[in-house]
Amino acid sequence: MKIVNYKHILTTVLLSLSVFSCKDLTELNQNPNGVDPTKANPNLVLSTVLTETGKAFVNLGYQDMAGVMQHTQKDGWSGGHNEYDWGGSQSWSPYYDILRNNQYVYDRSVQLGFELQQGVALVMKSMVFGLITDLWGDAPYSSALKGELGGAENTFPAYDTQEAIYTGILADLEKANTLLSKTKAEYTSTMDAADVYYAGDPAKWRKLANSLALRYFMRISGKKPDVAKAGIEKIVANPTQYPIILAATDDAAMPFAGNSDSDSWPANTVYDASASNYRRLKMCDTFVKALLALNDPRIGVWANKVQIPLVVDASLPAGTDKIENGKRYLSPDKVAGKEYNTDPNYVGLPVAIVGGASYNLSPTAEQAANNPHVSWLNDIYKQAKGPLLKARLVSAAEVRFILAEAALKGWAAGDAKTHYDAGVKASLDAWGLTSSYAAYIAQKTVAYNATQKQIIEQKWIASWTAATEAWFDYRRTGYPELKAGPQAKRKVLPVRFYYMLDERNLNKTNTEAAMGKLEQTTYSEADGRNSPWSKPWVVQGTGKPW
């Protein structure tokens, strides 16, 4: 990862200016609209760290990762979403940009003695570095963010192992838990206006720190079960010292301002007059059928009903194809040899099919089709902002399902059923469906049945718009049991991102060393070792997910 040395660039610029002016260089370097970084309040940068992280998470979880985990499919420009045809297009540069800003927040807070901001910066460091290693595997960590120091070892840093990064993350979260342990009045600084997650509430940030720790202890449970067990049991055993997110009101969720395209819900139609980005996203058949099988009320919040249901009626004369009373009636000869779905309410787009734009007898087959026979996303997703439009980073539902899985393993994490039920309720609460909980959980298909499969499948449902975490759970457990579609690049789902071309060229030695630690599989042979189907350390030797 090449890290630009801004001091060197600044020196070059100033020297060139001196050729054309005899003014003092210090005077030339004064920006009347800027803020001196040696004197700035870290809150000025913290707000950017938080908003950019929120956008990064939702842009993954609502876009291509939602395609991988079959929440949605696209019927136009669908290669990356439906078929995993990534070609190394993903880049970690935006994440390292966030981390550089976050490092400034931390360092400046140390200088000023701002313990609240230090704790928050450690939480954000853990969250973003966790995302990087989860997505790619080995990555620059202990040697990253040092480009300004100069030297090849800082400009082109070595990669830490995935195991070492997880270990470092857990250590930072332990430190954050201590830094965030005071009451708000005890801190010498505040950050209310800058904090778009929790309005400067240290108690909620502390819960987030420990909830992230639960996430990463469970993440490594297949590789280091003793460490994971001890870590989760330590947190559960002392809720006073290690409070966690247990209610939806404490979710780490970022709302959107909606003032411009850059601070609005992605793919909204307010700033995209063509609505093509919204229209190309359709509900996935896999997800729709799972929700319908459970009589899940969340489907009505997330999806629109089909505009015009299909009715295939054998009593109709041959050649019939007509719309009456809001339904399209067809005789059997009109659908012979075609795949179709006549559910009168919700119809999803099958995974990675040929001709997604024309599925279910769509009368228009253009990219981002106006298909009236497939469920579009709910109209709330056309908006730039709204009470349900949030970047969801960590939720009470996720935490409860982690604890349910831990308890199912026999670890001292409480009662598995209690946590499972609470996880379902927390998700319904988050989507404004609290009143639906009693009837939903009472169903035989939803009631706790003491299996990891059921826990992870409910966690997958709860991860709507935050599907990246569901991908990591799938990689670790093999649940839900998803199948790749006929047009997918491989017959199974991928487990990581490619290392990018610029990284392989500019930081070649270190990148090649990291690639050498990936485990090739029968599905990665066509790509070589640097493949989305090569296994990183966290799943090597586990037999998961395939």
Q: How confident is the model at residue 31 (pLDDT cuts 50, 70, 90)?
A: low
73-82 pLDDT per residue, tens: 999 889 999 9
150-178 pLDDT per residue, tens: 888 888 999 999 999 999 999 999 999 99
Q: Which helix (H) or strand (E) holds 224?
A: none
pLDDT at 33: 61
Q: 410 exposed, middle or buried (CB, 10 Å; 0-12, 13-18, 19+)?
A: exposed
Task: Detail the DSSP E strand segments found in 224-360.
Answer: 252-255, 281-283, 310-312, 321-324, 327-330
Which pair of tokens denotes residue 55?
């956008």
User: What order of strands is seen across the sheet that includes strand 327-330?
Assistant: 310-312, 327-330, 321-324
pLDDT at 152: 84
Q: What is the pTM of this model?
A: 0.93
pLDDT of 190 strictly over 90: yes
Minimum mean pLDDT among 10-19, 74-83, 174-183: which range? 10-19
CA dihedral 148, 152, 156, 162 (to 10 degrees): -100
The fraction of the chain above a pLDDT of 90, given in percent, is 88
- Domain 41-254+278-287+349-360+462-545 classified CATH 3.30.70.260? no
Q: How confident is the model at residue 440 (pLDDT cuts 50, 70, 90)?
A: very high
- Alpha carbon distance 235, 216 (integer Å): 13
Minimum mean pLDDT among 33-42, 210-219, 532-541: which range? 33-42
DSSP 499: P
pLDDT at 368: 63
Q: How confident is the model at residue 20 (pLDDT cuts 50, 70, 90)?
A: very low
CB 281 within 8 A of CB 422: no
Ranges of each domain in the chain:
41-254+278-287+349-360+462-545
pLDDT at 231: 98
309-349 pLDDT per residue, tens: 999 999 999 999 999 999 999 999 999 999 999 999 999 99
Closest alpha carbon to 436 in 331, 321, 296: 296
pLDDT at 30: 54
- Alpha carbon distance 147, 267 (integer Å): 35
Q: How confident is the model at residue 17 (pLDDT cuts 50, 70, 90)?
A: very low
Q: 538 exposed, middle or buried (CB, 10 Å; 0-12, 13-18, 19+)?
A: buried
pLDDT of 16 strictly over 60: no
pLDDT at 147: 83
Bridge partners of 312, per DSSP, are: 330
DSSP 402: H
358-381 pLDDT per residue, tens: 999 999 877 667 999 999 999 999
pLDDT of 22 strictly over 60: no
Q: 262 exposed, middle or buried (CB, 10 Å; 0-12, 13-18, 19+)?
A: exposed
- Alpha carbon distance 83, 205 (integer Å): 37
pLDDT at 28: 44
Pairing label, strands 310-312, 321-324? unpaired
pLDDT at 367: 67
pLDDT at 151: 85
pLDDT at 14: 29
